[in-house]
Copies of this chain bind each other. A is one copy, B any other.
Amino acid sequence: MRSMATEGRTIVPAREGRAVRVAAGQRLSVVDLEGGQVGDVFAFVPVPEGTGEAAAPPEHLSAAHTRAVTNRLFPEAGQRFVTDRRRPVLTLVSDTSPGFHDMLIPACDPARYAALGAAGGHASCADNLRRALAGTGLSVPYTPQPVNVFMRIPVEHDGRLRWLPSASRPGDAITFQAVTDCVVVVSACPQDLVEINGGGPTALAVDLRS
């Protein structure tokens, strides 16, 4: 798995994505360097070699299965995120942001930008995921629903959703601890047609430490 960080800081340039291999017990922080930037976070647990399941897709962090475990719409410190096989993959350790993180909205993709009238070739979190995984040996035939850190989608009393600009400040960070070895992908969301990114798409950082 070349060009993947082990420890230290990985910059996720604006509108791009990066994959990081995380060992069980390591902590990974997503840092909003300039503030107001949404990050789409995906996590995958590779199928162990020699299990005869090499061709199976990796387990992925699943927002829906996590909701069924936490009985909450949105993440809170201390909770675990589980995979589509209901196995814990990450724990939310701490959060210095105002605490808005979304688990309802799918990754932006070419169809989303086409519907918004963007020219072809607009970057998307789904494409960023695909590119970031290309170097990891993992192949995922679908785009799991990500955890959208720093994304502010409040739910009204009647179940209606609102899309608001991110409220995170420069340097705000959300920190996860890996329960199991996994590959985490972070996409600095390139959305510039719906005002979810306060300051226009900017870079994020991923800090990995033992």
Contact = CB atoms under 8 A, between A and B. Distances in A.
A179 to B, nearest CB: 15
A72 B163 CA distance: 11
A159 B73 contact: yes
A57 interface: yes
A143 interface: yes
Please state the number of chain copies in the assembly: 2
Nearest to A115: B86
Size category of the A interface is 20 to 34
Contact of A106 (B64, B109, B159, B161): B64
Contact of A86 (B72, B73, B112, B159): B112
A147 to B, nearest CB: 12
Interface string A35-73: 000000000000000000000110000111101100111
Nearest to A70: B161
A141 interface: yes
Contacts of A86: 109, 111-112, 115
A2 interface: no
A105 interface: yes
B104 A160 contact: no
A157 B40 CA distance: 25
B160 A71 contact: yes
19 contacts: A56-B141, A57-B141, A62-B106, A63-B64, A64-B105, A64-B106, A64-B145, A65-B106, A67-B105, A68-B105, A68-B106, A72-B160, A73-B73, A73-B155, A73-B161, A86-B111, A87-B111, A155-B159, A157-B157
Interface of A: 56-57, 62-65, 67-68, 71-74, 84-87, 104-106, 109, 111-112, 115, 141-143, 145, 155, 157, 159-163
Given A68-B112, A73-B161, A84-B142, 17 more contacts: A57-B142, A62-B106, A64-B106, A64-B145, A68-B105, A68-B106, A71-B161, A72-B160, A73-B73, A73-B155, A73-B159, A84-B143, A86-B109, A86-B111, A86-B115, A155-B159, A157-B157
